[in-house]
Structure 1
């Protein structure tokens, strides 16, 4: 696929990913992809996928990749990038890009069918913070196109009984996330806070809700970004450097 806008490819192990200034990725995407840990038999879907970093990371090791994955985004440029990445990596039929609004998902994304849904959602509520002048950043960072409630509702529709929804969010929105998950029948089962170093306040948390599960929340050990000599061993492993 030929793209008519400036772009380049970044290495993800044996894979490559098409990125642009509009649709790129950060550490939180690596953390969420690892936290979600799809199984080989899973049917998975990443909502608000952007350049497709999260599902592409799942396919770094073909033996551990889900059976089939979808990457959904409302922005056509993001989906064009993911489509180019899929073609370049020979993942046609395994990773399917879809341009759609998660509030109005197409029939191809059948309700009650999915084992795993993920989302790295906008962190800022509508009207919170200074909006970026770039439309792509505005959509990614602020709830201008969808709210956290919309994201959780979409995940609940897609998941089968026992299916998992994994997301990341800022700590100040922990109560919002847990409340919305339970309201949609996605019982919070795991929470893990991400800290820059021991003793520092968390700047992110990872959370898993399970459809139809009984109440029991496991708070996992913090994930540390820094170690004694730079990045922590766990983060290096997540990055694929170990």
Structure 2
């Protein structure tokens, strides 16, 4: 049988690369999207090939409406078939707050983090049928359960995508399933050293941070769960059960969680 095709946006590095590896191991071929300036991280090609996956790398600026519209046709040209799975993983993540937010920041985050995923979902739903059912998995953020004011534009855009997940699950059934995974802190940025990551883990109800493979495992589950739609799986060490008054990076100077 032909392996099903998955399109993963932002799939070249970090969490996106982990998702691609997990899907390859689960029997998918990959269409891996990145921004025009990005390329697959070291070792990704070898892991996908070892899993027996055919894969294609495509670039598109998800803030550009024309580029978003052209992405699925480009996937079809490259792979000679339509995806059976779309993972909306690509995201813009900049710092702002209610005191510093600008219209441009709100629009830029919304374009990449909500508008592009919704438009890609709509385009894929248009070619779905009983003979070609489709699954869509949106990558959210655990902060949607109890938002704080840090990364304000990013947070609002993820809240919008969370609500869109529910609406699209209703609208696109029965041949399209739309669900989401909400990760917590997982891969450190340059702001986090090992000690700071350990302190963040200690703040979680489970006193641990999910690793990328566990988040990717949740994506694989939702891709295959034919009776599941409109659901969000939190993979976050239990972080969504608490209210953190600030982003984890700033909690050390301002107390803990409630």
TM bucket (normalised to shorter chain) is 0.3 to 0.5
Structure number with greater Rg is 2
Richer in strand (by share): 1
TM-score by length of 1: 0.47
Query: Which protein is richer in helix relative to its size?
Result: 2
